[in-house]
Amino acid sequence: MKKNKFSKNWIIKQKRDIYVKKSKLEGYRSRAVYKLQEINEKFKIIKNNTLVIDLGSAPGSWSQYISRNYKSSKIISIDLKDIEPIENLFHIKGDFTEDDQKIKIKNYFGKKIDLIISDMAVNTTGNKSVDSLVTGELCLEAMNFAVELLNKKGSFISKLFMGSSFNAIVAFAKKTFKQVDIFKPPSSRKDSKENFIICRNLR
């Protein structure tokens, strides 16, 4: 009964959501696209000819935004799910945390890159503390990967939930990058604990 009630409430919320409507009108695959758009409008990170890795990419709206607006960019994405083809995108179906998948990603470019983006989050359990902690671990693993692959002026953007590991991750980011910002995009739902950490210029 609780699950059915949650599903019904979610459907009602989706129907009322202006960003869901807008994404359909503009041909984007999910409302999440506007989070990246708002981040980019504020911090001016994505440029033409950008080499990008998109972690946890399905259904692909972040890659879609970059491909559509920065056509000379080259993107590789990875997710446990397949996604429909996107121009200038090479997609890997797999688990980003596995070493063999990381090697595939590294080999694709064969050199240092400009940007790593991550909208990864665990499937929610209902326990906000657990969800925050596990999603924080994903963010930290992605950040460590970014340190290996980014050039000195590279940038890293990742979802990060408020919770027990939040301050430790931000502190690590500040030791690793010269510029670190925390930003909650206007399109992020008000009842969500999600924020995004925006890191620029490796130390």
CATH of the domain at 123: 3.40.50.150
| pLDDT at site 142 | 95
Per-residue pLDDT band for 27 (boundaries 50, 70, 90) equals: very high
Interval 152-156 mean pLDDT: 98
20-29, 117-126, 193-202: segment of lowest average pLDDT: 117-126
Sign of CA dihedral 100, 158, 149, 42: positive
| pLDDT at site 95 | 94
d(CA 19, CA 44): 21
Interval 89-113 mean pLDDT: 95
Place of tokens 């009842």: 191
Which residues are CB-neighbours of 162 under 8 A, at least 6 positions away?
132, 193, 195
Q: Largest Cα–Cα distance in the chain? A: 52
Is the CB of residue 131 less than 8 Å from the CB of residue 122? Answer: yes
| pLDDT at site 193 | 84
pLDDT at 130 over 80: no
pLDDT at 127 over 70: no
pLDDT at 18 over 50: yes
**Could you read off the pLDDT of 36-58 as tens digits, one per residue?**
999 999 999 999 999 999 999 99
Per-residue pLDDT band for 161 (boundaries 50, 70, 90) equals: confident
Per the structure, the count of domains in the chain is 1
Q: In terms of pLDDT, which residue wins out, 4 or 109?
A: 109
Express as a percent the part of the chain with pLDDT over 70. 87
Q: Please state, rounded to an integer, the average pLDDT across all residues of the chain.
A: 89
Per-residue pLDDT band for 33 (boundaries 50, 70, 90) equals: very high
Q: Which residues are catalytic?
A: 159
Domain holding 117, by residue range, is: 2-202
The burial class, CB within 10 Å (0-12 / 13-18 / 19+), for 161 is: buried
Nearest alpha-carbon partner for 75 in 85, 90, 58, 55: 90
Nearest alpha-carbon partner for 90 in 49, 60, 114: 60
Per-residue pLDDT band for 136 (boundaries 50, 70, 90) equals: confident
Per-residue pLDDT band for 2 (boundaries 50, 70, 90) equals: very low
Place of tokens 């179906």: 93
